[in-house]
Amino acid sequence: MKPYNVVINFESGTLDPGKRIIRKVSDVKNMFYDTQAAEELIQKGDPMVYEVIYADVPEEQGHLGHCTTIIYPGKIGNEYFLTKGHYHEKLSTAEIYFCLRGQGRLIMESTDGDCEVLEMFPGSASYIPPNWSHRTMNVGKELLVFYCIFPADAGHDYATIEEQGYPKLVVEIDGKVTVIDNPKRKN
């Protein structure tokens, strides 16, 4: 293949040319604490929670995958709109998230059981080391847009997070972004 450009719009988060994946509430309902509130939102039109737009890169060792993620502002119950979250199938692979717009949080858990929450804001470049799962939330009132770079053969393991969730939830309490223990967390 030959070198090539894609163009990223920092405001809208579009990456062109790119392949767009859309996640609605019905696609991510099991990730939220208040599944009842998620069901109600699905009945009310099943709004979009986030989009990912991937550059066309072979999923092979040596290549770098890259994409933008756009998370819409919103909450389910008092929990901010979030991504599914995943470990990489190849656990030994890292990732960088570079925030272009909005206000977010990045929650990560390591295979050793450590949990960290980082702030995302325009200009923040968050390093996700090997062996750490990752999920993002939009805690602001506008779009959260960030650019991701990862080894193209890293792969996604969604099942672990879908089953166990994270030890912490990021919720709004009295209008403030608050990190609380996840009462549903098993183990």
Rule CB under 6 A: say whether 81 interacts with ligand PA5.
no
Report how far residue 5's alpha carbon sits from residue 175's, in angstroms, rounded to the nearest whole number. 41
Q: Tell me which residue of 141, 143, 135 sits closest to 166, measured CA to CA.
A: 135
Measured from the CB of residue 84, what is the shortest distance to ligand PA5 in angstroms? 4
Rule CB under 6 A: say whether 109 interacts with ligand PA5.
no
Number of Cβ within 10 Å of residue 160's Cβ equals 14
Structure tokens belonging to residue 20 = 């767009």
Among ligand PA5, Ni ion, none, what binds residue 99 when CB lies within 5 to 8 Å by partner kind?
none
Rule CB under 6 A: say whether 150 interacts with ligand PA5.
yes
Place of tokens 């968050």: 126
Query: In which region does residue 155 sit, left (phi positive, over 0), alpha (psi from -120 to 50) or beta (all else)?
Result: left
Pick the piece of the chain touching Ni ion (CB under 5 A) from 23-31, 62-70, 87-95, 112-120: 87-95
What number of chain residues touch Ni ion (CB under 5 A)?
A: 1
Q: Which helix (DSSP H) or strand (DSSP E) does residue 107 occupy?
A: strand 104-110
**What pairing do the DSSP bridges indicate for beta strands 64-71 and 48-54?**
antiparallel
Rule CB under 6 A: say whether 103 interacts with ligand PA5.
no
The smaller minimum CB distance to ligand PA5, of residues 59 and 173, is found at 59
Q: Tell me which residue of 186, 183, 159 sits closest to 171, measured CA to CA.
A: 183
Interface pattern 18-57 for Ni ion (x via CB under 5 A): ----------------------------------------
The smaller minimum CB distance to ligand PA5, of residues 52 and 120, is found at 52
Among positions 51, 79, 95, 109, the unique one binding Ni ion when judged by CB under 5 A:
95
Half-sphere exposure of 133 (CA within 13 A, CB side): 24
Rule CB under 6 A: say whether 168 interacts with ligand PA5.
no
| Amino acid at position 178, single letter | T
Among positions 18, 101, 134, 151, the unique one binding ligand PA5 when judged by CB under 6 A:
134
In the complex, the residues that contact ligand PA5 under the rule CB under 6 A are 52, 67, 69, 83-86, 95, 134, 136, 148, 150, 156
